[in-house]
Amino acid sequence: MHPSLFSLFGYPVGAYGFFMAAAQLIGALAALTLARSDRRPIGPFLDMLFAVLFFGLLGARLGYAFNRWEEFQSKPWELFSIEKDGLSFFGGFAPGFFAFVGVARWRKIPVLAAGDLLCPVLPLSLAIMRVGCFLAGCCYGAPTNVPWAITFFRLDSKVPLPLIGLSLHPSQLYEVMFLLILAATLALLHRRKLFPAGILATFSIFSYSLFRLAADFFRGDLDRGFWGQTWMAPTQAAAILGVLATPIVL
């Protein structure tokens, strides 16, 4: 693995920060491309992108810190460093969603139609970020004996020392593959105009929540324990809420 990709003017560029920045840039370009292909005005979508990125990333960072505050107690300024890994999808989803709805209503963009148009962007961006997680060693998998297991050897990775050299589930790559398939499926279904407005956006959140509910059992970096249930991670509890919210939204 490669926690540091290269040096720029003597400063090491970390894999996690690089791919996080790339995910936001590529996601923004993809969103604007989709808006243009659907003959939507670009200006309102730019406002929406800035709001969603700001509030989504802020919420994702705070959501991560809420569960792992001990990592930031001695150096609280690292909460806003892109070199310090750690984002929570479910922590960022709620503020990002409300920013999306707020700007859409302000700029008079149909909320449901815009959600369907842009729903492939989120899994695409998240897939790129997970590549950075894989290279940095964060979001690592649980020990396993499956033939496709991976092993981390570098001591500067995010994998804890007791797991260095052990065979682990490639949990980051599981998510990359799922997210890329989901993004392509959503884009294809939107082009065919098969469903009423809002269905694809709802389906995207339902699908990811269902995936995380199952996939987190293969991750080794999650603190188990939610409301006394030691077999469940907090992210899985959030995923259950995502699944149960689907019929309400529909």
Residues 175-213: pLDDT tens digits?
A: 999 999 999 999 999 988 889 999 999 999 999 999 998
Model pLDDT for residues 53-104, shown as the tens digit of each residue: 889 888 887 777 766 666 666 666 666 665 556 677 777 888 888 999 999 9
CB 170 within 8 A of CB 139: no
- Return the axis-axis angle of helices 234-249 and 199-215, rounded to nearest 10°: 150
Token code pair at residue 164: 């260095």
Q: Determine the 3-state secondary structure of 196 from DSSP.
A: coil
Confidence band of 155 (pLDDT split at 50, 70, 90): confident
Question: Are 123 and 183 contacting, i.e. CB atoms less than 8 angstroms apart?
Answer: yes
Look at residue 229 and tell me whether its pLDDT is greater than 60.
Answer: no
pLDDT band at 133 (very low <50, low <70, confident <90, very high): confident
What pLDDT score does 116 carry? Answer: 92
Q: Can you point out the beta strands (E) in 4-63?
A: 4-8, 11-14
pTM: 0.84
Q: Mean pLDDT over all residues of the chain?
A: 84
CA distances from 223 to 9, 140, 180, 216, 240 (A): 38, 13, 27, 11, 17
| β-strand partners of 6 | 13
Q: How many Å apart are CA 121 and CA 183, to the nearest integer?
A: 7
- Residue 160, pLDDT score: 85
Could you tell me how many residues make up the chain? 250
- How does residue 227 score in pLDDT terms, banded at 50, 70 and 90? very low
Residue of 195, 205, 196 whose CA lies nearest to 243: 205
The answer to whether the beta carbons of residues 187 and 227 sit under 8 Å apart is: no
Arithmetic mean of pLDDT, 214-235: 70
